[in-house]
Structure 1
């Protein structure tokens, strides 16, 4: 069961569109390195509109919000490694991040996180040109729309041939 942590807007919440969410347990693998990188005081100077005004005006050397957020991030990281229940530490972390980032900033964080998740789902395989030509010919012959479908179809055919060969010799 995935508990959704809604973003609490600092300004007026948008009337249309999808509501912002804070981090979910299943996003931590991708999100933690991104959050560590984005909360650094050097980022605050470069992207001040991403952070709450309290964070932007805080003393860089004694930024309590930053120190507290790093401690919470470390706590969630440790709990995740122990494979324990993350709901309570994640809720504290999410509340802290809700105070640390501006509405606009969190929207940008979610956008970057979405891009990271998308990249993680894809992989690239290099193929020779002659193999690509053969695959395209097979795609046309079988009226398939993508390389994914084509390869999946070929693999299915191989599996069915193996199964029929096994039955034949049994």
Structure 2
């Protein structure tokens, strides 16, 4: 059984087999977690993303999908890029957010990853409410994580995000 653990801190400092990046569809860097991963990981990640854009992902990565690259200078082995949905209160896009987690787990398993770290996908500039994102993320990982994954981390940047995930995780 895969263990799910929470950690408050900087995902770019995690020593894991794969870090999940809350990327934008261009795969070419951005703000928030995406920008932090690109900055700390160095130009190797951007070069790998550009290569993806030049080959299979000419139009970018679709929302809910995932793809892996090198982790560059990060302590991780790989970065799994996934594009979370923008939250719209008048439209249920929960399945797209769940897909980000399922697809990232699938890619991690294909890589043979035993440890993976997720951020709180879509909760930054994309506006997804933390409590709902935590519910979707934790449920999806609980239902879909399996061998070879041994530990899935949710790395939450601040105390508020950690508290929201912890409240859902305790249930």
TM-score (norm 2): 0.27
TM-score (norm 1): 0.27
Whose strand fraction is larger, Structure 1's or Structure 2's?
Answer: 2
Considering Cα pairs closer than 8 Å and 6+ residues apart, tell me whether 1 or 2 has the greater RCO: 2
Whose helix fraction is larger, Structure 1's or Structure 2's?
Answer: 1
